[in-house]
Amino acid sequence: MSSSTVEKVRNIGISAHIDSGKTTLTERILFYTKRIHAIHDVKGKDGVGATMDSMELEKERGITIASAATFCEWQEHEINIIDTPGHVDFTIEVERSLRVLDGAVLVLCSVGGVQSQSITVDMQMKRYKVPCIAFINKCDRSGADPSRVIAQLHSKLGHNAVAMQMPIGLETDFRGVIDLLSMKATYFEGENGEQVRSDEIPENLLAEARSKREEMIDAASLFSDELTEAILEESPIPDALIMDAIRKGTLARKLTPVFLGSAYKNKGVQPLLDAVNQYLPCPADVENTALDLDHEEALVELLPDSSLPIVALAFKLEDGTYGQLTYVRVYQGTLAKGAVIVNTRTGKKVKIGRVVRMHADQMEDIEAATAGYIAALFGIECASGDTFVSPGLNLTMTSMYVPKPVISLAIFPKDNKSQINMSKALNRFTKEDPTFRTHVDEETNETIIEGMGELHLEIYVERMKREYGTDVETGKPRVAYRETITQRAEFNYTHKKQTGGSGQYGRVAGYMEPITEGDEDFIFDNQVRGGSIPTQYIAACEKGFLQCLAKGPKMEFPVTGVKIVINDGASHAVDSSDMAFQAAARGAFREGYGRAKAVIHEPIMKVVVETPTEFQGAVMGLLNQRRGMIVGAQDEGPMTVVEAQVPLGEMFGFSTVLRSSTQGKAQFTMEFALYRQIPQSIAEKIAEDVALRKKSAA
């Protein structure tokens, strides 16, 4: 791809709080860019559903679960859009999309403003340094107040938000927008708002528009000396100069241009598309790096040059009618039909069969995808997050941050057919979503699925039923408790079996202590001097200790945060072996653990409830009953936002209780915050549950 074309490519995401209308916005974008020829509503009565919600389940629930990538063209620019899910339980999807995107549109509701999910999404954008522009949607709704939302962008998200437009009327009177750059009023006419009409600014809004334009130019001037000079000299300011300054500010993430509209009422979408082209970065504007595995993971800069060797990242997998579809972002080189690429993780070489460009669930075959592009490949065996490179390269894209699961559930297939399909489904889901894991419990022989929340697992169970015809029953959700120690304890254990036949002998001595710095689960420190444990058995010792971590001696939960130091031991010329030292290490672990004051930790969730103010007392009561620690309550006019830290184990069924206590008017989001020690009374109850479960399994 030549540099002139890469400049006209935009890889963008549309991120927002659930229900702010991002799927509707995407639908309108596809309509105006002529990718679709009719508009369907998300919760539409026509039963078709929005085009981006390709999964049946999503259509039914009116939410977007998995990202669907699609491509469209606007004013000679090629735009790849990833529609991202809004619920926190699916943030791995949001994070993956942000990882491969160059820019994003942050959709906000003009009534709800900056909501809890917007804050989470914004934090993710910061983590991946994704520049964004904001779109304040639903300006036609009763209670719409874009200036309040802009103020919230400042106060809650710390954005230097600058209005690029001003509404002409609000709520049911919302007629169009004033472009503060061209100082023209823009109206959207025709059956679907496809005819954009430019007109003079209504007289009564002129003064306000002038003052807002001043504010906008003032903010932009920080990013352009030329613009500052023009202002000081009071000479006429060319639009291009302002646009250039705003683009600079946006790319540096120091300015967020704000646009307005109502996607549902077909207003304000086309100017937003112009803004995507104008202010969001092209692939060449963003610096991307990979890790060189041949040189101790040194950073290597990737260049959006199609003639260089290939580096591409598989960021999403989908199982379609024609086999596995792998969404890739090409960072360097050209992924062409017939080319040979290597999966860095597995080292396997594969030949590319088909390259397609996706449009929700329809596709279009292309010859090649060049640097900067997002495309999909057919028939490539890989996992999500894998890096593909040209043979000879050994690069991997920076690994994505993947949180550990906090909740698990046992699932039981009802019949043999379901058993087979369940395995297929689990195999695919675990490949698609790194936060979704599965294993078979050795003791109970149950299949356990693990994930980031109740809804996360529920959705997968439903998908199993719908997409794979698997009839499964589920057990009660279980919280991922952990064990850890609270004090240093010595051990000195001898494993000895010398009663006939070949004997076993090994002695391991040292101490264990809690890890106080960093978040490592296990540190093994060998301080044995003088060969009291021969070097060839040290690895066996470590293995022995590691074996004990999977199931803690206290309540059989995984053990974390333990540092083991071995400093002495003994061996026998004939009877010592790897096996003997592994057994000695296991014994030593049990001995030390018994004295190290082990405790149980539980996952604590950050719960944010948005409720009409009249129910805030009730909501706080609900959280308090669930052992929640309320951090604070924020008054947001008619709504109050209550933030609390609540143990995950107490959150089951919360959505039902919340609905019934607030007449269904409150909503909440929940995400993992930290692990904290559980109170003694609860620990006793858990111990009883564990004992009961073991008994029933036996």
Partner 1 sequence: MLKKELILRNPLRQLGFETEDILSAGAFGAVLAHAGVGKTALLVQLALNGMLRSRNVLHVSLKDPVNKVNLWYNELFHHLAGRYEGAQVNSLLESVLPHRFIMTFRVESFSVPKLEERLNDLTEQGIFSATMMIIDGLDFDESRRSDLNDLKALAVKNGIHIWFTVRSHRHEASGVDGLPVSFSAVAGLFDLVLELQPERADVHIKMLRGSGSTPVGSPLLLDPSTMLIKDQV
Number of shown-chain residues binding partner 1 (CB under 8 A): 23
Looking at 207, 574, 631, 687, which residue binds partner 1 (CB under 8 A)?
631
Token pair belonging to 23: 């799927």
In terms of Cα–Cα distance, which of 62, 83, 89, 146 is closest to 112?
146
- All residues at 6 or more sequence positions from 666 whose CB lies less than 8 Å from its CB, including other chains: 609, 610, 611, 612, 615, 619, 658, 659
Does 447 bind partner 1 (CB under 8 A)? Our answer is: no
Binding mask 81-120 for partner 1 (x = CB under 8 A): --------------------------------------x-
Does 497 bind partner 1 (CB under 8 A)? Our answer is: no
Does 467 bind partner 1 (CB under 8 A)? Our answer is: no
Looking at 2, 516, 535, 681, which residue binds partner 1 (CB under 8 A)?
516
Distance CA 164, CA 255 (A): 11
Does 347 bind partner 1 (CB under 8 A)? Our answer is: no
**Restricting to residues 647-676, which ones interact with partner 1 according to CB under 8 A?**
676
**606: enclosing H helix or E strand:** strand 598-612
Distance CA 461, CA 464 (A): 5
Looking at 3, 75, 155, 527, which residue binds partner 1 (CB under 8 A)?
155
Integer CA distances (angstroms), 474 to 114, 259, 691, in order: 36, 46, 20
Does 292 bind partner 1 (CB under 8 A)? Our answer is: no
Question: Segment near partner 1 (CB under 8 A), from 96-104, 225-233, 362-370, 625-633?
Answer: 625-633
Does 616 bind partner 1 (CB under 8 A)? Our answer is: yes
To the nearest whole angstrom, how small is the minimum distance from the Cβ of residue 516 to partner 1? Answer: 4
Question: Segment near partner 1 (CB under 8 A), from 298-306, 321-329, 335-343, 627-635?
Answer: 627-635
Does 482 bind partner 1 (CB under 8 A)? Our answer is: no
Does 641 bind partner 1 (CB under 8 A)? Our answer is: yes
3-state secondary structure at position 621? helix
Does 458 bind partner 1 (CB under 8 A)? Our answer is: no
Does 521 bind partner 1 (CB under 8 A)? Our answer is: no
Does 217 bind partner 1 (CB under 8 A)? Our answer is: no
| Eight-class DSSP state of 202 | P
Token pair belonging to 153: 């962008």
Residue placing its CB nearer to partner 1 in the complex, 347 or 518:
518
To the nearest whole angstrom, how small is the minimum distance from the Cβ of residue 16 to partner 1? Answer: 19
Does 629 bind partner 1 (CB under 8 A)? Our answer is: yes
Does 299 bind partner 1 (CB under 8 A)? Our answer is: no
To the nearest whole angstrom, how small is the minimum distance from the Cβ of residue 669 to partner 1? Answer: 14
For residue 373, how many C-alpha atoms fall within 13 Å in the half-sphere facing its CB?
28
In terms of Cα–Cα distance, which of 612, 660, 661, 662 is closest to 639?
612
Does 452 bind partner 1 (CB under 8 A)? Our answer is: no
Does 679 bind partner 1 (CB under 8 A)? Our answer is: no
To the nearest whole angstrom, how small is the minimum distance from the Cβ of residue 634 to partner 1? Answer: 5
Question: Segment near partner 1 (CB under 8 A), from 55-63, 232-240, 513-521, 683-691?
Answer: 513-521
Does 156 bind partner 1 (CB under 8 A)? Our answer is: yes
- All residues at 6 or more sequence positions from 179 whose CB lies less than 8 Å from its CB, including other chains: 164, 165, 185, 186, 271
Does 681 bind partner 1 (CB under 8 A)? Our answer is: no
To the nearest whole angstrom, how small is the minimum distance from the Cβ of residue 383 to partner 1? Answer: 35
The CA-based angle 405-411-413, given to 5 degrees, is 150
In terms of Cα–Cα distance, which of 540, 608, 630 is closest to 580?
540
Residue placing its CB nearer to partner 1 in the complex, 321 or 681:
681
CB 314 within 8 A of CB 388: yes
CB 267 within 8 A of CB 261: yes
- All residues at 6 or more sequence positions from 527 whose CB lies less than 8 Å from its CB, including other chains: 510, 565, 566, 567
Looking at 630, 673, 683, 690, which residue binds partner 1 (CB under 8 A)?
630
Question: Segment near partner 1 (CB under 8 A), from 59-67, 104-112, 573-581, 624-632?
Answer: 624-632
Distance CA 592, CA 511 (A): 7
Residue placing its CB nearer to partner 1 in the complex, 594 or 637:
637
**Ordered DSSP codes for 372-434:** T-EEEEES----TT-EEE-TT--EEEPPPP-PPP-EEEEEEESSHHHHHHHHHHHHHHHHH-T
Neighbours of 272 (CB within 10 A): 25
Looking at 643, 652, 683, 686, which residue binds partner 1 (CB under 8 A)?
643
Residue placing its CB nearer to partner 1 in the complex, 419 or 634:
634
Length of the chain in residues, anyone? 698
Residues that bind partner 1 (CB under 8 A): 119, 155-156, 514, 516-517, 616-617, 620-621, 624, 629-637, 641, 643, 676
